[in-house]
């Protein structure tokens, strides 16, 4: 069960919010089924084992994801938070989180979808109430709606990730330069 979700945003809550891709265009839903939600929780590293989610867990996850996205967007743009979105996020964050346990072989975290979702919501609370807010940027790919934490030197990062967006735009810019170069026009 590996769907290879992307974790390029620098914070689990931002990566979670990015599971609805291309919000301004074709909108691609990463949580189409319960097993895809389970896969995200496992691949994120927040849990080592997840109890199988059901459709109700998926709907709850989508609601919390949209609350995170709305609140991150508002904070990033310097706008007021929507009260309904605040309540939704805080309700999820108030549920029991995934709790790591020490075992003979190291740390292990087993959780239900609700516990894992609470953990994601708590990451969102910490992000939005913490020092990383000025480091939040939206990817410069006009089709991408990921918000990421820019910890690059001089805060000059433009893309959520080079593999996901940066390489596409660098290649497109190169092709455009080649097409409009004097040598290309003469040929």
117-119-123-129 Cα dihedral, nearest 10 degrees? 100
Predicted structure pTM score? 0.86
- 82 vs 143, residue with greater confidence: 82
What pLDDT, on the 0 to 100 scale, is given for residue 70?
97
Q: Which fold has domain 12-186?
A: Jann2411-like fold (1.10.3300)
Q: What single DSSP character describes residue 97?
A: P
Q: What is the mean pLDDT of the chain?
A: 89
Contact present, 54 and 44 (Cβ < 8 Å): no
Neighbours of 25 (CB within 10 A): 11
pLDDT in tens, 76-106: 899 999 999 999 999 999 999 999 999 999 9
Determine the average pLDDT of the residues in 13-26.
89
Q: CB-based contacts of 54: which residues, under 8 Å, 6+ apart? A: 34, 113
For residue 87, give both structure tokens.
């309540």
Q: What single DSSP character describes residue 68?
A: H
Q: Give the three-class secondary structure for 74.
A: helix
Determine the average pLDDT of the residues in 136-154.
90
What pLDDT, on the 0 to 100 scale, is given for residue 179?
72
Q: Give the three-class secondary structure for 91.
A: helix
Task: Give me the residue spans of the domains in the chain.
Answer: 12-186
């Amino acid at each position: 069960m590996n769907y290879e979700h992307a974790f390029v945003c620098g914070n689990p809550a931002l990566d979670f919010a990015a599971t609805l891709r291309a919000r301004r265009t074709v909108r691609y839903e990463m949580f189409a089924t319960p097993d895809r939600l389970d896969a995200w929780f496992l691949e994120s590293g927040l849990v080592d084992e997840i109890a199988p989610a059901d459709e109700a867990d998926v709907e709850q996850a989508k609601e919390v994801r949209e609350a995170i996205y709305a609140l991150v967007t508002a904070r990033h743009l310097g706008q007021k938070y929507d009260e309904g979105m605040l309540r939704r996020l805080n309700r999820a964050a108030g549920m029991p989180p995934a709790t790591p346990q020490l075992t003979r072989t190291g740390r292990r975290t087993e959780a239900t979808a609700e516990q894992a979702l609470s953990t994601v919501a708590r990451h969102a609370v910490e992000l939005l109430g913490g020092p990383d807010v000025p480091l939040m940027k939206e990817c410069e790919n006009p089709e991408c709606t990921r918000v990421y934490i820019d910890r690059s030197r001089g805060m000059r990062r433009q893309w959520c990730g080079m593999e996901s967006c940066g390489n596409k735009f660098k290649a497109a810019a190169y092709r455009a330069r080649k097409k409009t170069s004097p040598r290309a026009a003469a040929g």
